[in-house]
Amino acid sequence: MDKFFQTMGGDPRNFNKLDLYKLPSPCFVIDKRALIDNLLTLNHLKSKTGVKILVALKAFSTPYFGPLISEYLDGCCSSGLYETKLAKKYFKGEISTFSPAYKKDDIKEIVNLSDHIVFNSTNQLNDFYNIAIKFNNEIGLRINPLYSEINNDKYNAACINSRLGMHLNDLYNIDINKLNGIHFHTLCEQNFTPLENTWNKIKNDIIPLCKKLNWLNLGGGHHITRDDYEVDKLETFLKQLADQTSCQIYIEPGEAVVLDTGILVGEIIDSFKPSNELAPNIAITDISAVSHMPDVIEAPYRPALLNEPKDGYRVMLGGPSCLAGDIIGEYNFKYTPKVGERIAILDQAHYTMVKTSFFNGVKIPSVAIWDSDNDNLEIIKRFTYEDFENKLS
């Protein structure tokens, strides 16, 4: 297990009460009650500190929930033209757009739709500055603090060879009069202390600039809705930061908005034990790691399984695609799983639904909304062969 990246999600919350057999398979299920609970936590943080909170659409961008999320948060952060258009159509509030690089063909539409436009380099800041100010955009620059406590390089945006942000020690090259704000992001599924440590590393460089700035954006990766998150310390820090800088403070959580609010339901479609004693029991599901949960392969990590016992039969769960590495992980079962049996992978709302693909013609899971308060269930999206056919036609 030490070769896997251990994610911090996996709380089943109320999903033990859901009848998995009432759903199509495969199917993403979002618990509306759990989502509201997360939003209430974030909204409380807003009211205590004055921080503005933007949902990161790169993690979760289901239009169905745009109105609900907009009731509690201040808007969206997007990563380019399509997410910005989605934010404008389905969400309310501010739109802050950041991209590692903007295409010239897209920039006018992006700045027309955005409230904040955050650049990644002095090249792009200089190239597009005059366009941005014509649309009354607040203009920001992303910096790389060159400090992070993330161990997995794939998710470390602040390493020395990161393509994200201008190195902190190059800030003297910037005409600060062109900027309204500074953005930085160094976290991934982390508690409060790494944020505090990051600020302590950079504050002597940033605070002198703040007299000419309107805002500071602390990015995402804050696991605020996790049970063990030190929310009291974060509240104190955010209030002190606003006082120190006289700036409006922003954060851009993605996972924290939908942490442990969603599952991916699947079905066992074959189950067998190879004759070789060294080989594990194998079960093939209609859930694909590569098509439905690509971070399982890219990180890699082993997602939590609903109701997995501590001991039992070890079974390797694999997907239906022809990719040899389409493996979800090894799990304990009370007995050898049978064909037709339903399973549920936990904490599958973020960075899964937004990353699904039709690779190998594998069907994309349906999307269902469930309310654990009253057991109401609604299927809001089913994917068909025509969706697959039309994708590349």
- Write the DSSP string, 20-56: GGGS-SSEEEEEHHHHHHHHHHHHHHHHHH--EEEEE
Q: What is the pLDDT of residue 6?
A: 65
Residues 6+ apart with CB under 8 A from 387: 358, 364
Q: Rounded to an integer, what distance in angstroms lies between the CA atom of residue 70 and that of residue 31?
A: 17
Read off the pLDDT of residues 261-274 as tens digits, 9 standing for 90 and up.
Answer: 999 999 999 999 99
pLDDT in the model for residue 72: 98
Question: Do 378 and 24 meet the contact criterion of CB atoms below 8 Å apart?
Answer: no
* 365/164 Cα distance (integer angstroms): 32
pLDDT of residue 4: 57
Q: Taking the domains of the chain in order of start, what are their residue ranges?
A: 15-29+261-391, 50-258
Amino acid at 339: V
Considering only CA atoms, give the Rg of the chain.
22
Per-residue model confidence as pLDDT tens digits over 32-84: 999 999 999 999 999 999 999 999 999 999 999 999 999 999 999 999 999 99
| CA distance linking residue 76 with residue 54, whole number of Å | 5
Calpha distance 353→292 (Å, rounded): 7
pLDDT for 81: 98
- Assign 227 to helix, strand or coil: coil
- What is this structure's pTM? 0.96
Tell me: domain 15-29+261-391, CATH 2.40.37.10, correct? yes
Distance CA 154, CA 151 (A): 9
Q: Which residues pair with 377 in a beta bridge?
A: 370
- Which residues in the chain come in under a pLDDT of 50? 1-2
pLDDT at 246: 98
**Nearest C-alpha neighbor of 255 from the set 303, 294, 220, 230:** 220
CATH value of 50-258 in 2.60.120.260, 1.20.140.10, 3.40.50.720, 3.20.20.10: 3.20.20.10
